């Protein structure tokens, strides 16, 4: 028995309605009203939608502070954690509808991508702002196990965590590529994980594995942005219009770095030689790109120094033009934030508001509605003249 519940409304009144429709759609959530317990019988959930009783299993073999915790029902598909008791409590307290991960099958299909293995390609034209996927983790692993435990103990915990997942979840975990070699289950984690925090402290740092997301290859100029929200859901949205047949990509690294640094990172930390179009530019084109990235970095420093005497509207416009020329749509929210703040410092409320709205739109795709930067730009967009930055450096053309 399942209930279909409409969830999510967009809180951002100041955005264009076309954009809101993409970023904050109303979604049908499948919420199961019954669950199958360990006894194999069907049981009813309580009013909050959670199964009665503790459905987390804790396994007796722990190493140091780290144990395996598995819940066959969490997020509708099951999850295993290798973590401390404190972090287990943090995850167990998350109250979300039991929605399974979803990839809109109408938007993408699996394809072989030359030089990259498998990947996802668009099966229809996709507009900027459209959601591609919302995915839930199969495995969360505390990062300290790799520095604090012996390798044999790490492998034992990894094997146990995956072995205990429900069969479909285990199968999708094992279907992911592992490209670094060594212990297969650990290799899969390193090839396909995202670093994420479960709290504000260092103890919250984990590697999260989302099998549905793992088919997305890397591009230094990707067409998707992603973020993981506080309920551990991984969201991917289009950051520009995408053509039918185009590969869907995310960036595994900071796209503002110059080519040699990006390539060093993919080769030495991620274990592959990047074959994306931006890394394949001729030396001349790549040198020009690196020059723009270095200028962006210099202008960023000037525009972030709110006492700087040299900042000007022309500098802001040059900075944004370089972002566009560099095709940095997947990481442009911060640039619009700096533009909004600087125009507000110059006492130009109208332009500051325009850039604050662009920053909110980009920020919703890059970091989600709860991000501090998005909240702050909302205040500036609505009340520029009450903002701390208002007219501190009046600029008269």
Ligand X SMILES: C[S@@+](CC[C@H](N)C(=O)[O-])C[C@H]1O[C@@H](n2cnc3c(N)ncnc32)[C@H](O)[C@@H]1O
Angle CA 160–91–43, to nearest 5: 80
- Closer CB to ligand X, 215 or 299, in the complex: 215
CA-based nearest residue to 250, from 92, 99, 365, 94: 365
Complex with ligand X: residue 237 or 262, whichever CB lies closer: 262
Least distance (Å) between residue 88 CB and ligand X:
27
Question: In Å, what is the CA distance from 361 to each residue of 47, 209, 241?
Answer: 35, 27, 15
* Of 125 and 177, CB closest to ligand X: 177
Give me the least distance between CB of 177 and ligand X, in Å please.
Answer: 3
Residue 240 C-beta: closest distance to ligand X, Å:
18
Helix (H) or strand (E) holding 189: helix 184-191
CB atoms within 10 A of CB 115: 11
Q: How far apart are CA 336 and CA 212, in angstroms?
A: 31
The Cα–Cα gap between 271 and 182 comes to: 13
**Residue among 49, 271, 347, 373 that touches ligand X (CB under 6 A):** 271
Least Å distance between CB 193 and ligand X? 9
Asked if 249 contacts 222 with a C-beta cutoff of 8 angstroms, the reply is yes
Considering only the stretches 96-104, 145-153, 239-247, 273-281, report the one whose residues sit in contact with ligand X under the rule CB under 6 A: 273-281
Among candidate residues 42, 8, 78, 56, the one with its CA nearest the CA of residue 370: 8
Q: For ligand X, which is the closer residue by CB, 277 or 297? A: 277
354 burial via Cβ count (<10 Å: 0-12, 13-18, 19+): middle
Work out how close the CB of 277 gets to ligand X at its nearest, in angstroms, rounded to a whole number: 9
Residue 80 to residues 14, 59, 151, 182, 270, Cα–Cα distance (Å): 40, 11, 19, 21, 24
Contact 207, 194 (CB under 8 A): yes
Tell me how far apart the alpha carbons of residues 241 and 195 are, in angstroms, rounded to a whole number.
28
| Residue closer to ligand X, measured from CB, 5 or 111 | 111
- Round to whole Å and give the CA distance between 268 and 259: 14
Nearer to ligand X, 188 or 358 (CB): 188
What's the min distance (Å) between Cβ of 252 and ligand X?
7
Nearest approach in angstroms of CB 158 to ligand X is 18
- Position with the least CB separation from ligand X: 117
Q: Binders of ligand X among 207-226, rule CB under 6 A? A: 214-215, 217-219
Closest contact distance (angstroms) between CB of 219 and ligand X is 6
- Strands 79-83 and 139-142: what pairing? parallel
Q: Which is nearer to ligand X, 90 or 184 (CB)?
A: 184
Q: The sheet that has 131-135: what strands, in order across it?
A: 102-103, 131-135, 234-238, 224-228
| Residue placing its CB nearer to ligand X in the complex, 44 or 277 | 277
Residue nearer to ligand X on the CB measure, 141 or 358: 141
Stretches 99-107, 138-146, 153-161, 269-277: which one binds ligand X (CB under 6 A)?
269-277
Which residue from 63, 272, 306, 390 is in contact with ligand X, where contact means CB under 6 A?
A: 272
Question: Parallel, antiparallel, or unpaired for β 42-44 and 34-36?
Answer: antiparallel
What is the footprint of ligand X within residues 304-343 (CB under 6 A)?
none
| Contact flags string 95-134 toward ligand X, x per CB under 6 A | --------------------xxxxx---------------
Please tell me the number of Cα atoms within 13 Å of 120 on its side-chain side. 26
From the list 289, 357, 329, the residue with the least C-alpha distance to 320 is 329
User: Least distance from C-beta 346 to ligand X, angstroms?
Assistant: 40
- Contact track, ligand X, 167-206, x by CB under 6 A: ----------x-x-----------xx--------------
Q: To the nearest whole angstrom, how small is the minimum distance from the Cβ of residue 217 to ligand X?
A: 4
Choose between 70 and 193: whose C-beta lies nearer to ligand X: 193
What is each CA distance from 184 to 174, 203, 215, in whole angstroms?
Answer: 9, 26, 17
Q: How many residues touch ligand X (CB under 6 A)?
A: 19
**276 contributes a contact to ligand X by CB under 6 A:** yes
Residues of the shown chain interacting with ligand X in the complex, contacts defined by CB under 6 A:
115-119, 177, 179, 191-192, 214-215, 217-219, 271-272, 274-276
């Amino acid at each position: 028995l399942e209930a279909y519940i409409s969830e999510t409304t967009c809180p951002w009144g100041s955005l264009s309605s076309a954009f809101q429709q993409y970023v904050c759609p109303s979604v049908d959530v499948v919420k199961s009203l019954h669950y199958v317990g360990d006894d194999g019988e069907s049981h009813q959930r309580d009013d909050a939608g959670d199964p009665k009783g503790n459905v987390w299993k804790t396994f007796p073999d722990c190493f140091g502070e780290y144990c395996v915790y598995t819940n066959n029902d969490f997020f509708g598909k099951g999850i295993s954690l290798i973590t401390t008791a404190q972090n287990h409590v943090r995850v167990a307290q998350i109250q979300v509808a039991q929605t399974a991960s979803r990839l809109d099958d109408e938007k993408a299909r699996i394809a072989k991508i030359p030089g990259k293995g498998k990947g996802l390609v668009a099966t229809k034209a996709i507009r900027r702002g459209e959601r591609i996927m919302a995915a839930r983790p199969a495995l969360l692993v505390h990062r300290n196990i790799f520095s604090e435990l012996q390798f044999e103990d790490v492998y034992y915990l990894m094997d146990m965590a995956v072995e205990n997942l429900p069969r479909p979840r285990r199968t999708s975990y094992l279907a992911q590529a592992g490209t670094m070699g060594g212990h297969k289950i650990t290799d899969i984690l390193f090839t396909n994980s995202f670093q994420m925090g479960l709290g504000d402290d260092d103890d919250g740092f984990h590697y999260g594995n989302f099998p549905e997301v793992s088919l997305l290859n890397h591009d230094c100029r990707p067409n998707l942005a992603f973020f993981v929200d506080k309920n551990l859901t991984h969201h991917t949205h289009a950051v520009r219009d995408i053509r039918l047949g185009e590969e869907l990509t995310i960036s595994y690294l900071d796209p503002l770095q110059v080519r040699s640094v990006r390539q060093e990172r993919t080769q030495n930390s991620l274990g592959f030689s990047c074959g994306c179009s931006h890394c394949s530019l001729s030396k001349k084109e790549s040198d020009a790109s690196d020059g723009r990235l270095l200028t962006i970095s210099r202008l960023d420093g000037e525009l972030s120094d709110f006492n700087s005497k040299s900042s000007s509207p022309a500098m802001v416009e040059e900075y944004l033009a370089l972002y566009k020329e560099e095709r940095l749509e997947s990481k442009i929210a911060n640039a619009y934030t700096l533009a909004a703040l600087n125009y507000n410092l110059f006492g130009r409320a109208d332009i500051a508001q325009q850039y604050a709205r662009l920053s909110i739109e980009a920020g919703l795709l890059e970091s989600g509605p709860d991000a501090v930067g998005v909240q702050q730009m909302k205040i500036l967009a609505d009340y520029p003249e009450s903002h701390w930055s208002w007219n501190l450096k009046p600029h008269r053309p």
